[in-house]
Amino acid sequence: MDIRTQTRQFLAASGWSQARLAEAIGVHVVTLNRYLNHPVQISTSERLRDFFARQERTQLPSGESEQERPDDVQ
């Protein structure tokens, strides 16, 4: 179960309001509401993680950079 679903279930079962939960976790109620009810944007840290993961998969052999590679190897 993802955290959004778990949070919604907690709110329904506990009777807590979004405002009360937001205060308890230290965020503004609007922030919590947006998190629960709108698509979540990818964070900068997730974008960086994905970028470096792609770099590792496409990494050139050691000691060779993209600029040093000849266009035509005969």
pLDDT tens sequence across 50-69: 888 988 888 756 655 555 55
The fraction of the chain above a pLDDT of 70, given in percent, is 80
Question: What pLDDT, in 10s, does the model give residues 3-48?
Answer: 999 999 999 999 999 999 999 999 999 999 999 998 877 788 888 8
In contact, 8 and 37? CB cutoff 8 Å = no
Whether the CB-CB separation of 19 and 30 falls below 8 Å is answered with no
Going by C-alpha positions, the residue among 6, 13, 32 that lies closest to residue 21 is 32
> Does the global pTM surpass 0.75?
no
**pLDDT at residue 74, as a whole number:** 45
> Is the pLDDT at 49 greater than 50, yes or no?
yes
Tell me which residue of 1, 38, 3 sits closest to 21, measured CA to CA: 3
